Structure 1
C-alpha cells in the first residue's frame, strides 16, 4: 500500500507478530517520560499564580510531563493496537519497579566519610514504600483502562472522531489512576485529611484531563504521521483484552 493511498485497515490479529518501523521508538519515549516524570518531577512541589483568584496554587511538578505518558499510550493503542500497547505498559511497569528498587539500594548504601550529600540524596531519591506501591498500582490500572477504552471506542466509532477517544479514554483512565493513587498513598497519612485527599485527587484529575485536551492537536499530528509511515490502521476486532500477557 503506497502512502499516497493512506493506511490500510487491518485487524490486530492480521498483524500479530509483524514488525513496525517506529514502534520501538514510541515504546522508548513512553518509558523515558514515565521514569523521568517520576524521578525529576515527583519530588518537587511547585506553584502557579492564578490572577483571577489572586492566589498561588501548589501542584506536583511531575504533572507537567507525566500526562504525556497517557498521550503516548493513546498513540500506541490507536496506531498499533491494544496488544502492543499492553506490551509497552508492562515494560513501563517493570522499569518503574526496577527504578524503585535501584533507588532504595543506592540510598541505603553507606556514604563515604568525605561525601556530605547523603541527606540531600535521601530527600530526592528516598521513596516511601506506600507511595511507590500506590504509584505502581495506579499507573498499571490507569494505563490499561485507558488503552482498553481507546481500543473499544475505536471499534464503536468506526475510527472516526479521534478526539472523542483520546479525551474519553483519558477521563476514565486518569480517573482510575487518581482514585487508586491518592487514597492508597495519602489516606490516613499525617497531615492529610480526607477532605484534602479528595481535593487533590479531583484537582490533579482535572489538570491531567485538561492537558490531554490541550495536546489533542499534537496527538492528531503524531497519529496521522505514524499511520501513514507504517501503512496500516489497526482495529482490535476479536482482541483478547486481558492485561495478563505480553505476547502480540
Structure 2
C-alpha cells in the first residue's frame, strides 16, 4: 500500500467531495439559524443550534478525506465548499430580493427562512473556512506524529479544535447583540455546539474506521503529509 505519493485519479474522491458539499449546504441552509431546546434532568432547559444534529457529519467526511487522500486534496474540497456557500448566499439574496408575483402569500415567510442577514452569512462562511482548515491541519499533523496509528485520537482531537473554532466564531459573530439572543444564550449555544459535535464524532468513530479502511483498500492509498505545504492558499498539488 502506498505511503507517500498518491495516484492522480481516484474512484471515490469526487463522490466524497459531493457528500461533503451537500451536507455543508443543507446544514447551513436548514439548521444554522434556529436555536432549539431540550429539558435535561437536573439542568432544566438547555439550548443548542438545530444544525448541530447534521453539520458535524461534514467534519467526519472531512476527517475521512484528510486521512485517506491527504491535506492537499482536502484543501481543494474545502475551497469547493467555500465557493458553494458563497453561491448559496448570493442566490438566496437574489431570489429573496426579487419582487413576488401579485397575490403570492409566501414572501414574508420566504424572507424569514432564506433572508439571512449579512452577519449570519459572513459568520457561517468565516467559521466554516477557519474550522475546516484547522480540523484538516490537526488531522494531518497528528497522523504523521502517530505514524498512522490510533485513528480515533486524531479524529476526535481534530474535531475538538476545528468544531470549537467553528462554534466560537459563528455564534458570536452572527448573533451578538440581536434581539432574542442574549449573551448567556450565545455562550450556552457555543458550548453546546462544541460538546455535541465532539460527542457526535466520538459516537461515530466505528463508522469512520469502517469508511476509512474501505476507502484506503479501494483506492490503494494512504497519504502521509510529511512534505505538504499547509497554507490554505497553496496551489494544487503542494
SS at match of 1:234: coil
The answer (yes or no) to whether the contact 1:86–1:246 under 8 Å persists in 2 is: no
The correspondence of residues 75-224 of structure 1 with structure 2, limited to 5 A, is: 75-224=64-213
SS at match of 1:10: coil
Q: Which residue number in structure 1 is paired with residue 231 of structure 2?
A: 242
| Cα separation, partners in 2 of 1:180 and 1:42, compared to 1, 3 Å | closer
TM-score by length of structure 1 reads 0.91
Question: Residue 16 of structure 2 is aligned with which of 26, 32, 39?
Answer: 26
Q: Which residue number in structure 1 is paired with residue 2 of structure 2?
A: 9
Q: Which residue number in structure 1 is paired with residue 214 of structure 2?
A: 225
The answer (yes or no) to whether the contact 1:87–1:246 under 8 Å persists in 2 is: no
* 1:101-138 per-position Cα deviation (integer Å, ceiling 9, x unaligned): 10010000000002111111111111110111011001
* 1:125-176 per-position Cα deviation (integer Å, ceiling 9, x unaligned): 1111011101100100000000000000000000000000000000011111
Distance (whole Å) between structure 1 residues aligned to residue 33 and residue 189 of structure 2 = 16
Per-residue deviation, 1:179: 1.7
Distance (whole Å) between structure 1 residues aligned to residue 186 and residue 114 of structure 2 = 23
Distance (whole Å) between structure 2 residues aligned to residue 159 and residue 121 of structure 1 = 48
| Cα separation, partners in 2 of 1:182 and 1:40, compared to 1, 3 Å | closer
Per-residue deviation, 1:47: 3.4
RMSD: 1.6
Select between 127-136 and 157-166 the one with higher mean Cα deviation: 127-136
Per-residue deviation, 1:53: 2.9
TM-score by length of structure 2 reads 0.94
Q: How many pairs were matched up?
A: 237
Per-residue deviation, 1:43: 4.4
